Amino acid sequence: MLLSPRYRFLFVHIAKTGGTSVRAALAPLRWRDPWYWPMFLCSRFSHLSGHRLATKLPRHAKVVAAKELLPREVFDGLFKFAFVRNPWDLQVSSFHHIRRERPQYLGGHDNFGDFLRWKLDPQRPYQYHLDTSIELQTDYLVDLHGNIVVDFIGRYEQLETDFAAACARIGLSGIALPHRRRATDRTRDYRAYYDETTHDLVAHHFARDIELLGYSFDPEPAR
């Protein structure tokens, strides 16, 4: 999550949706924000205390955390936005990310299908790096009553276009979107990773995302 009091925006960072690139593009704005140093000091104090002070909005916090913590007039005055991604594609991206950067969390499952079945097993012990990527994306966008409270939902599939649209809403121009964490070990379309069983696992687990965000396994070609 990235909060800018000066530019009055709140970026809700959902894992594996291009958020690292968005944060990298917007992070330099912090130096122009008079609230940066107080926010930085609070963050450092929280870090030094093992986050026992709870003075920092976590990187992948849901928008409801900001709504509950910030004064209502501050929250309502922010332009709140996030990016989402096709759940089937997201799971393939997550698999490659973990295999490349945190292979110890594969649980001995180097095959995508085996890993996905193990990852979605409700009996598996909790592990932050795994469970963050199987939370519903729509949970990041809603308040305690289930109402969507972000103002703009961009899509990973058209990241540059939607990022430019978000910047225009904020009132920013000339912000370049760098490509961070671009995978070099993935060459196949996400659909090639699935069989009927694993397709249905994702369809069931992410049913609400698929319905509310309008995703499908075989998206219609662009016209």
Q: What angle do CA 25, 57, 135 make, to 5 degrees?
A: 85
- The answer to whether residue 113 sits within a structural domain is yes
- The answer to whether residue 82 sits within a structural domain is yes
Pair 96, 105: CB distance under 8 Å: no
Q: For residue 107, what is the domain's CATH number?
A: 3.40.50
pLDDT at res. 181: 56
Pair 1, 59: CB distance under 8 Å: yes
Range(s) of the domain holding residue 78:
2-213
User: How far is the CA of 28 from the CAs of 5, 37, 67, 81, 83, in angstroms?
Assistant: 14, 13, 24, 18, 20
191 token code pair: 């659909």
Residues 217-222: contacts with CB within 8 Å, 24+ apart? 217/88, 217/191, 218/191, 219/86, 219/157
Q: What is the pLDDT along the chain (223 residues), one digit of tens a residue?
A: 899 989 999 999 999 999 999 999 998 888 788 777 787 787 787 778 776 666 677 889 999 999 998 999 999 999 999 999 999 999 999 999 999 999 998 988 989 999 999 999 999 999 988 999 999 999 999 999 999 999 999 999 999 999 999 999 999 988 988 876 565 566 789 999 999 999 999 999 999 999 999 999 987 654 4
pTM: 0.88
Residues 211, 134: Cα–Cα separation, whole Å? 16
Other Cβ atoms closer than 10 A to 69: 13
| Number of folded domains that form the chain | 1
- The answer to whether residue 223 sits within a structural domain is no
- The answer to whether residue 218 sits within a structural domain is no
pLDDT at res. 223: 44
What does the buried/exposed string (b/e) look like for 149-186 if buried means 16 or more CB atoms within 10 Å of the residue's CB? bbeebbbbbebeebbbebbeebeeeeeebeeeeeeeeb
Pairing of strands 152-155, 2-4: unpaired
pLDDT at res. 31: 76
